């Protein structure tokens, strides 16, 4: 029976103690026997050294560990942490070129570039990004209405420094909205292609495709509400649902918020957020 393991947010390399937990998490998967596909939905690995010399070392280490399991295929999409860098590298180049080269080197599928086709299913994925479509409407902080400039700089009104670290470590020439549109359009095309080739589609988006997949919605806490804007984009949900009801079985998984959500069923598409966190990796097994 073909098994697909879906996990997210392993952040391998961030802390020795967490790495040991990820290693034993992988060891425990041995008991599942043969695994057809192992899918990591972004924030795969990272390093505190964000320069080109260290780029990808932790990703490679993690892939080697997974390759010790009886796993046929490994696939991943990027997460925002996978494209973090200091100013020596360009995050867009990491997203579109460096992670692809790294995947090719490791013999794994980089979903931002290619779908993974198994005998029975197509696996289609993306980091997604955010365009503030999931921002809390009418949010005020320090008596000032939050606007796009606050979100672009990740700095709430009245604050001197960013509250969300993507502001410090994602460097590209596109703003959030521009990058999000390019990323989502490319994902839409890959999903179109998958629909032509398989009847069963597994969608993996790092950022969430709708508010319902963001477990963090602290209505009483404006500062936490500020972060909702960076959880994902409604555009991903629209793209996925535009492929619904066409005779295909679609399941959509996300990560990024580190809090499980779902499953919920919309137009016959099942949505889940995996909910992996630092030190508590989680996974879902699909069997068929």
CB of 260 to Fe ion, least distance (A): 13
**Nearer of residues 79 and 125 to Fe ion, judged by Cβ:** 79
9 near Fe ion, rule: CB under 5 A: yes
Beta-ladder partners of 38 = 5, 74
Site for Fe ion in 38-57 (CB under 5 A): 43
Per-residue x/- marks for Fe ion, 166-205, CB under 5 A?
----------------------------------------
What CA–CA distances, in Å, run from 59 to 164, 197, 214, 245? 23, 29, 26, 37
- In the complex, least distance from residue 142 CB atom to Fe ion, rounded to whole angstroms: 27
Near Fe ion by CB under 5 A: residue from 80, 85, 231, 273:
80
CA-to-CA distance for 254 and 244, rounded, in angstroms? 17
Residue 36 or 82 having the CB closest to Fe ion: 82
Give CA–CA dist 89/151, Å, rounded: 23
The count of chain residues that interact with Fe ion, using the rule CB under 5 A, is 5
Q: Where in 210-269 is the site for Fe ion (CB under 5 A)?
A: 256
Q: Which range, of 75-83, 145-153, 158-166, 189-197, touches Fe ion by CB under 5 A?
A: 75-83
In the complex, least distance from residue 248 CB atom to Fe ion, rounded to whole angstroms = 28
Query: In the complex with Fe ion, which residue's Cβ is closer, 19 or 43?
Result: 43
Q: How far is the CB of 119 from Fe ion (least distance, A)?
A: 31
Hey, how many other C-beta atoms are within 10 angstroms of the C-beta on 230?
Answer: 25
Three-state SS for 25? helix
Q: How far apart are CA 69 and CA 81, in angstroms?
A: 25
In Å, how far from its chain's centre is CA 5? Answer: 15
Q: How many CA atoms lie within 13 A of 40 on its CB side?
A: 26
Region near Fe ion per CB under 5 A, out of 2-10, 15-23, 92-100, 182-190? 2-10
User: Cβ of residue 92: shortest distance to Fe ion, in angstroms?
Assistant: 17
Each residue 84-123 as x (binds Fe ion by CB under 5 A) or -, in order, gives: ----------------------------------------
- Separation in Å, CA 246 to CA 179, 189, 199, 205, 252: 29, 16, 9, 20, 15
Rounded to the nearest 10°, the torsion over CA 238, 243, 244, 248 is: -150
Tokens at 270, concatenated: 């099942």
Q: Which is nearer to Fe ion, 9 or 188 (CB)?
A: 9
Looking at 74-82, 144-152, 180-188, 243-251, which segment touches Fe ion (CB under 5 A)? 74-82
Question: Is residue 75 classed as helix, strand or coil in its secondary structure?
Answer: strand
Asked if 76 contacts 29 with a C-beta cutoff of 8 angstroms, the reply is no
Minimum gap (Å) between residue 59 Cβ and Fe ion: 14
CB-nearer residue toward Fe ion: 168 or 244: 168
Residue whose entry in the numeric block shows the structure tokens 């919309």 = 266
Site residues, Fe ion (CB under 5 A): 9, 43, 79-80, 256
């Amino acid at each position: 029976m073909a098994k697909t393991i879906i996990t997210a947010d392993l952040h391998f390399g961030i802390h020795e103690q967490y790495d040991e937990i990820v290693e034993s998490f992988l060891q425990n998967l041995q008991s599942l026997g043969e695994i057809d596909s192992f899918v990591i939905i972004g924030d795969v690995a990272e390093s505190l050294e964000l320069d080109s010399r260290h780029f990808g070392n932790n990703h490679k280490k993690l892939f080697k560990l997974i390759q010790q399991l009886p796993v046929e295929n490994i696939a991943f999409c990027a997460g925002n942490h996978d494209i973090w860098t200091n100013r020596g590298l360009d995050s867009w180049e990491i997203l579109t070129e460096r992670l692809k080269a790294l995947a090719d080197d490791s013999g794994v599928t980089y979903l931002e570039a290619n779908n993974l086709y198994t005998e029975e299913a197509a696996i289609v994925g993306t980091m997604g990004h955010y365009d503030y479509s999931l921002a809390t409407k009418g949010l005020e902080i320090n008596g000032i209405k939050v606007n796009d400039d606050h979100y672009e700089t990740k700095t709430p009104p009245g604050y001197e420094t960013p509250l969300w670290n993507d502001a410090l470590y994602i460097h590209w020439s596109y703003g959030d909205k521009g990058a999000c549109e390019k990323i989502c359009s490319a994902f839409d095309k890959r999903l179109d292609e998958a629909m032509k080739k398989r009847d069963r589609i597994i969608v993996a988006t790092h950022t969430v495709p709708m508010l319902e997949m963001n477990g963090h919605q602290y209505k009483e806490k404006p500062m936490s509400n500020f972060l909702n804007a960076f959880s994902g984009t409604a555009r991903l949900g629209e793209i996925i649902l535009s492929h619904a009801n066409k005779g295909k079985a679609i399941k959509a998984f996300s990560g990024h918020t580190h809090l499980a959500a779902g499953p919920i069923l919309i137009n016959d598409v099942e949505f889940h957020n995996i909910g992996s966190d630092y030190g508590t990796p989680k996974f879902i097994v699909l069997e068929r």
